[in-house]
């Protein structure tokens, strides 16, 4: 099972399972790497994945918890998905993005899980037999620069609890924004764009996915209201 429909951006720059598997996505990212967005090597990505899987019982299926674009374009094969809740983290636009949906001149903002609160999202189950290969596709997408940290979290689902790997903000990374006001966040989402498309499109797709799954995110509702308001004219 897969929901990996193409997400088309500029210059044919897309995220699909096929592009992740072939290495085309990595090649495109590396060709556009900037000093603030260094890209890990294949060996570094493999080693990072091995470290994460070292804490997972061999032979068991693997769950992945998604809270942003993984909800509407997972781009990996999975056998089951469930709505789930993670405690101790909340969904927040807290990572700068100078490529993809931003530029060096006008960095965009990317979602991550940040410390504190609660987050509702989607848990995807990958069968054990294909877990490493499918997770490698996720790693090639999410773990490129070190701005995310892979963490195992407890996910409460209607069918029972599961243990899932997810991606939290690395607060020590240069791309971590620190505190941003809702207005500043909304302004950047409204303005930024890159090879994958606009930051606004990323926001709208995420909100649409949350609505489709009947997930209410108060912070994103407030940011959406701020985006809808006209920005103040420059002095």
Q: How far is CA 107 from CA 36, 37, 41, 110, 205, in A?
A: 11, 11, 23, 10, 19
Is residue 230 flagged as an active site residue? no
44, 80, 105, 142: which one is catalytic?
A: 142
Residue from 133, 174, 135, 134 nearest 152 by CA? 135
Side-chain-facing half-sphere of 207: CA atoms under 13 Å: 16
Q: What radius of gyration, in Å, describes the C-alpha atoms of the chain?
A: 17
Q: What six digits make up the tokens of 79? A: 């056998």
Rounded to 5, what percent of the chain is helix, strand, coil? 35, 30, 35
Burial class (CB in 10 A: 0-12, 13-18, 19+), 3: middle
Residues pairing with 45 in the sheet: none
Which residues are annotated as catalytic? 142
């Amino acid at each position: 099972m897969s929901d990996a429909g193409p997400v088309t951006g500029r210059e044919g720059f897309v995220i699909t399972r096929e592009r992740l598997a072939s290495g085309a996505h990595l090649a495109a990212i590396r060709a556009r790497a900037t000093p603030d967005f260094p890209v890990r090597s294949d060996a570094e990505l493999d080693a990072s994945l091995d470290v994460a899987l070292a804490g997972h019982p061999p032979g068991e299926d693997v769950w992945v918890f998604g809270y942003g674009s993984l909800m509407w374009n997972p781009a990996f094969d999975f056998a089951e998905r469930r709505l789930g809740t993670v405690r101790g983290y909340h969904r927040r636009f807290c990572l700068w993005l100078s490529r993809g949906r931003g530029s060096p001149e006008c960095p965009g903002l990317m979602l991550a899980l940040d410390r504190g609160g609660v987050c509702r999202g989607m848990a995807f189950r990958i069968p054990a037999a294909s877990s490493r290969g499918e997770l490698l596709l996720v790693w090639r997408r999410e773990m490129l620069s070190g701005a995310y940290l892979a963490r195992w979290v407890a996910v409460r689902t209607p069918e029972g609890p599961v243990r899932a790997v997810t991606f939290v903000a690395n607060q020590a990374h240069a791309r971590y924004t620190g505190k941003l006001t809702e207005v500043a966040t909304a302004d950047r989402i409204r303005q930024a764009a890159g090879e994958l498309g606009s930051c606004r499109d990323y926001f709208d797709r995420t909100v649409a996915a949350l609505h489709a799954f009947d997930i209410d995110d108060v912070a994103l509702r407030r940011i959406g209201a701020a985006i809808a308001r006209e920005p103040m004219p420059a002095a």
